[in-house]
C-alpha cells in the first residue's frame, strides 16, 4: 500500500469512529477522549508521515477486575506502659552553682540545707518515676527549695497520713505496691547525719513521685485508654503534675487533696462498695481455671483442654457425666480436641441452652466457670478504671450508653427517667468508647453511607450493576454536595482510589436510620437512630450494627433530649428531612462496662465482654505492674 492509500485508510477509520461516537452522547464523551488522547480502550497513533502506522490495540473490557481499596477497622494495640526515668537534677547544676561561680553574694546561694538536703545527697538520690512526674519533681525542688514530707531530720505527720492512704489503695481498685514508699524510722543515729540526709533525700523525692502517680492514676486512669485500641477516644493528661505538686506543698490536708482526684459519682461509690463486699476470700472458688481468651476448635491442640475437661467433670449435669464418662476419662490429660470429645462438648452446649457448634469459646467456658468472686472482682476493677477515663462528674442530665449491657439510659436530676434496649456495633464493626455532647435531632433523615460501607460492601454491587444505587433508593453527590447521576461516575476509579463521591439513602420508610437520628458530632460518625429492623431488639446478643447505636424507642429518647413531650414530635414527621437543635445540650457517654450498678438498687450487674476489651485491659495492667514494681524492687536493692 502506497503512502496515499495509507493516509486514506486512516482518514476513513477516523470518520467511522466519529460516526459511532455521534450515536451515544455518553459513549461519545468517552471515545472522543480515547481517540484524542489514548486510553485503556484505544491507543490512537499520529497520522503524519513518514512515521509508520501502528495498528490500533484491541479494546480492554471493563470486566477486568478492579483493584479495590477497602477500609480496615481500628486495631487492638500491644499496650506500652510509660517507661520510668531517673529523677535527675544534674541538668540544673548551672543554677545550683551559678552564685558560687559568678557571685559571692550569699543571698543568691541555693539554700538546700533549709530542708535538710545538701546538693550531694539530692544528686545521689536514685528515684525513678514517669517522665512527666520526674520533670515536675525536678522543677519544684530546684525552684521552691522547700520540703513537702520532711521537717528538719524527721518525717512529717503529713507524709505519714499520705503513706496510710497509699496502703489502702486497694479499696480504690488500685495496687498499693504502685505507691510503695519506705518511711524512714523516727529513730536514727544522730552521730551519722550524712546517712540520715541520704535517707531523707530518697524519701522526699520518692514520696513526691508516688503522690503524683496516685493523683494521676485516680484523675486520668492507671491505664491510658487510647493505647489499648483504636476504638478508644478519650481525653487524657487532664491531671498536670507540676500543678499538683504545688498544691501538695501548700495543702494542710494532702490526703483530702489526693482523694479529690477520684471519680465523684454514685457509680464509683457503688462499685467501690461492692468491691469491698466481695472481699478477698478465694478459698471456695474453683482451683481449675481456663486461661482468659481461650478458643479451641475441633482438631486443634491446646493445653487448656485439660482444664476444660476437669471443669466439665466437676460441674456438668449428672446425666451428662453418666453418658460421657468414658470420653471424659480418656481425655483427662489430652491436649488434642478430637471428634469423640467434640460430640460430648456439643451435648454439654445443648444442655446449657447454647448453640451446639462444638467450639470451646467464651460462652462454653463461662458456663463451666460461672461468675466467681475472682472474675467479679476483676470486672469491678476494670469498671472503676474505666470510670477514671470519663469526666468524674457526669452532671445531672445526661445519656449513658453501656455497650456490653446493650442498654441506653437517660438521666435527669441524676435520676434514671428512661431506659431502653439498643443494638451496637458487631465485634468486627465495634462501637467506639468516647463521650460527647448531644446537639441535634434530625427527623426523616437521609443516611450518609459511611466510606467503609461504600468501599467494603456496596462497591462490588455498584461495579456489577451501574443502576444498583438508583434502584435501591440511593443518590450520589460530589465533593461540593451536588447530586450527580450515578452513570456519570467512574466507579472503577472510585473503587481503586477510595474517594471522590459520596452516597446517601434518601428519606423513606425503608431508610436504614428509620424516622429519626440523634447527633453528637464526632470523628467516628457514630450517633443514635431508629431502625426498620425491629426484630434485633428481641435478641439477647445485640452487637449487630455497623457501629452506630440503634434505639428500641427512638421517639422517647428524642423527646427526652429535646425536653418536650413525645406528642410534640408529631409535627416533624413527614417526607422532608428536618433538623431540630437541642436547646439544653447534654453529654452522652458511649461507654463499655462489663460490671455496672443497677440505677435503682445499686446491685452490680455483670455482662459479657462482647469485644474482649477486658482481655486487653488485663494485659495492660499486667504490663504496667511489671514496669512499676520491677523498678521499685530494683530501687530498693540500691
What is the β-pairing status of strands 578-591 and 398-402?
parallel
Q: Where are the alpha helices (DSSP H) in 115-265?
A: 119-124, 131-143, 157-167, 193-220, 241-250, 254-259
Residue 59: pLDDT band with limits 50, 70, 90: very low
pLDDT at 9 over 90: no
pLDDT above 70 coverage of the chain, percent: 82
- Stretch 180-188: mean pLDDT, rounded? 89
pLDDT at res. 10: 42
pLDDT at 55 (0 to 100): 46
pLDDT over 50 (residue 121): yes
DSSP 8-state class, residue 360? B
CA pair distance 439, 527, nearest whole angstrom: 11
pLDDT, tens digit, 9 for 90 and up, residues 378-429: 999 999 999 999 999 999 999 999 999 999 999 999 999 999 999 999 999 9
Phi, psi of 127 (to 5 degrees): -125, 135
- The residue with greater pLDDT, 427 or 61, is 427
CATH architecture of the domain with range 383-446+507-607? Beta Barrel (2.40)
Each residue's pLDDT tens digit, 560-619: 999 999 999 999 999 899 999 999 999 999 999 999 999 999 999 999 999 999 999 999
- The residue among 638 and 459 whose pLDDT is bigger is 459
Indicate whether 634 pLDDT > 60. no
CB atoms within 10 A of CB 296: 25
Averaged pLDDT for residues 101-119: 45
Over residues 195-247, the pLDDT tens digits come to 888 888 899 999 999 999 999 999 999 999 999 999 999 999 999 999 999 99
What's the CA gap between 629 and 222, in Å, rounded?
Answer: 14
**Going by DSSP bridges, is the β-strand pair 415-425/407-412 parallel, antiparallel, or unpaired?**
antiparallel
Cα 329 to Cα 307, 325, 334, 356, 463, distances in angstroms:
13, 6, 10, 22, 57
Is residue 69 a contact partner of residue 495, using CB atoms and an 8 Å limit? yes
Query: What is the arithmetic mean of pLDDT over 325-351?
Result: 92
b/e sequence 113-138, b meaning 16+ C-beta within 10 Å: eebbbeeebbeebebbbbebbbbbbb
Cβ atoms 119, 201 nearer than 8 A: no
- Could you give the CA distance from residue 187 to residue 577 in angstroms, rounded to a whole number? 78
Region of poorest pLDDT, from 70-74, 89-93, 259-263, 469-473: 89-93
| Positions of CATH 2.40.440.10 in the chain | 383-446+507-607
Instruction: Supply the pLDDT for residue 466.
Output: 81
How confident is the model at residue 604, as a pLDDT?
Answer: 94
Proportion of the chain above pLDDT 90, given as a percent: 65
Confidence of residue 119 (pLDDT cuts 50, 70, 90): low
Per-residue confidence band for 377, with pLDDT thresholds at 50, 70 and 90: very high
Q: What is the mean pLDDT of the chain?
A: 84
Torsion of CA 14, 17, 22, 24, to 10 degrees: -160
Residue from 167, 164, 203 nearest 183 by CA = 203
Residue 54 is predicted with a pLDDT of: 43
How sure is the predictor about 632, in pLDDT bands with cuts at 50, 70 and 90? low
pLDDT interval class at 280 (50, 70, 90): low
411 contacts 587 by C-beta, under 8 angstroms: no
Q: How far apart are CA 480 and CA 109, in angstroms?
A: 67
The answer, yes or no, to whether residue 338 has pLDDT greater than 60, is: yes
**Confidence grade of residue 191 (pLDDT, cut at 50, 70, 90):** confident
Amino acid at each position: 500500500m502506497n503512502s496515499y492509500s495509507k493516509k486514506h485508510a486512516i482518514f476513513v477509520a477516523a470518520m467511522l469512529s466519529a460516526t459511532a461516537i455521534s450515536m451515544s452522547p455518553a459513549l461519545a464523551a468517552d471515545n472522543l477522549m480515547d481517540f484524542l488522547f489514548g486510553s485503556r480502550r484505544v491507543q490512537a497513533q499520529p497520522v503524519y508521515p513518514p512515521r509508520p502506522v501502528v495498528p490500533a490495540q484491541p479494546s480492554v473490557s471493563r470486566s477486568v477486575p478492579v483493584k479495590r481499596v477497602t477500609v480496615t477497622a481500628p486495631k487492638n494495640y500491644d499496650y506500652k506502659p510509660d517507661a520510668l526515668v531517673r529523677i535527675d537534677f544534674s541538668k540544673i547544676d548551672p543554677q545550683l552553682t551559678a552564685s558560687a561561680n559568678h557571685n559571692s553574694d550569699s543571698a543568691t546561694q541555693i539554700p538546700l540545707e533549709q530542708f535538710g538536703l545538701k546538693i550531694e545527697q539530692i544528686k545521689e538520690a536514685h528515684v525513678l518515676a514517669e517522665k512527666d512526674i520526674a520533670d515536675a519533681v525536678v522543677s519544684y525542688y530546684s525552684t521552691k527549695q522547700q520540703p513537702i514530707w520532711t521537717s528538719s531530720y524527721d518525717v512529717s505527720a503529713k507524709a505519714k497520713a499520705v503513706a496510710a492512704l497509699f496502703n489502702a489503695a486497694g479499696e480504690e481498685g488500685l495496687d498499693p505496691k504502685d505507691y510503695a514508699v519506705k518511711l524512714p524510722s523516727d529513730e536514727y543515729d544522730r552521730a551519722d547525719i550524712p546517712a540520715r540526709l541520704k535517707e531523707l533525700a530518697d524519701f522526699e523525692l520518692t514520696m513526691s513521685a508516688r503522690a503524683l502517680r496516685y493523683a494521676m492514676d485516680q484523675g486520668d486512669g492507671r491505664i491510658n485508654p487510647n493505647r489499648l485500641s483504636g476504638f478508644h477516644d478519650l481525653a487524657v493528661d487532664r491531671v498536670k503534675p507540676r500543678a499538683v505538686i504545688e498544691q501538695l506543698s501548700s495543702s494542710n490536708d494532702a490526703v483530702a487533696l489526693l482523694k479529690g482526684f477520684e471519680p465523684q459519682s454514685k457509680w464509683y461509690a457503688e462499685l467501690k462498695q461492692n468491691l469491698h463486699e466481695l472481699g478477698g476470700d478465694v478459698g471456695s472458688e474453683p482451683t481449675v481455671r481456663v486461661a482468659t481468651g481461650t478458643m479451641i476448635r475441633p482438631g486443634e491442640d491446646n493445653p487448656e483442654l485439660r482444664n476444660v475437661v476437669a471443669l466439665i467433670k466437676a460441674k456438668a449435669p449428672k446425666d451428662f457425666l453418666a453418658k460421657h464418662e468414658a470420653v471424659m476419662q480418656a481425655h483427662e490429660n489430652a491436649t488434642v480436641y478430637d471428634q469423640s470429645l467434640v460430640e460430648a462438648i456439643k451435648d454439654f452446649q445443648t444442655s446449657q441452652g447454647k448453640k451446639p457448634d462444638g467450639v470451646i469459646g467464651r460462652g462454653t467456658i463461662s458456663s463451666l466457670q460461672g461468675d466467681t468472686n475472682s472474675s467479679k472482682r476483676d470486672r469491678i476493677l476494670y469498671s472503676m478504671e474505666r470510670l477514671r477515663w470519663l469526666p468524674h462528674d457526669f452532671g445531672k442530665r445526661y445519656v449513658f450508653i453501656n455497650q456490653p449491657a446493650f442498654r441506653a439510659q437517660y438521666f435527669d436530676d441524676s435520676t434514671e427517667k428512661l431506659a431502653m434496649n439498643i443494638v451496637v456495633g458487631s465485634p468486627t464493626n465495634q462501637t467506639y468508647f468516647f463521650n460527647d455532647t448531644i446537639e441535634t435531632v434530625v427527623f426523616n433523615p437521609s443516611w450518609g453511607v459511611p466510606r467503609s460501607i461504600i468501599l467494603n460492601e456496596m462497591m462490588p454491587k455498584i461495579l456489577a450493576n451501574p443502576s444498583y444505587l438508583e434502584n435501591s433508593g440511593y443518590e450520589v453527590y460530589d465533593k461540593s454536595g451536588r447530586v450527580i447521576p450515578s452513570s456519570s461516575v467512574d466507579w472503577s476509579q472510585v473503587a481503586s482510589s477510595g474517594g471522590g463521591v459520596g452516597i446517601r439513602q434518601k428519606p423513606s420508610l425503608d431508610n436504614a436510620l428509620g424516622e429519626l437520628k440523634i447527633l453528637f458530632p464526632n470523628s467516628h460518625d457514630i450517633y443514635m437512630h431508629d431502625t426498620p429492623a425491629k426484630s434485633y431488639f428481641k435478641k439477647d446478643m445485640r452487637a449487630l450494627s455497623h457501629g452506630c447505636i440503634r434505639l428500641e424507642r427512638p421517639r422517647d429518647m428524642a423527646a427526652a433530649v429535646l425536653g418536650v413531650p413525645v406528642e410534640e414530635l408529631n409535627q416533624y414527621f413527614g417526607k422532608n428531612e428536618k433538623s431540630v437543635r437541642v436547646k439544653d445540650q447534654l453529654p452522652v457517654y458511649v461507654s463499655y462496662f462489663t460490671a455496672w450498678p443497677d440505677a435503682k438498687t445499686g446491685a452490680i450487674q455483670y455482662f459479657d465482654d462482647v469485644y474482649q476489651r477486658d482481655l486487653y485491659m488485663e494485659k495492660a495492667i499486667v504490663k504496667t505492674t511489671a514496669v512499676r514494681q520491677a523498678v521499685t524492687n530494683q530501687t530498693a536493692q540500691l
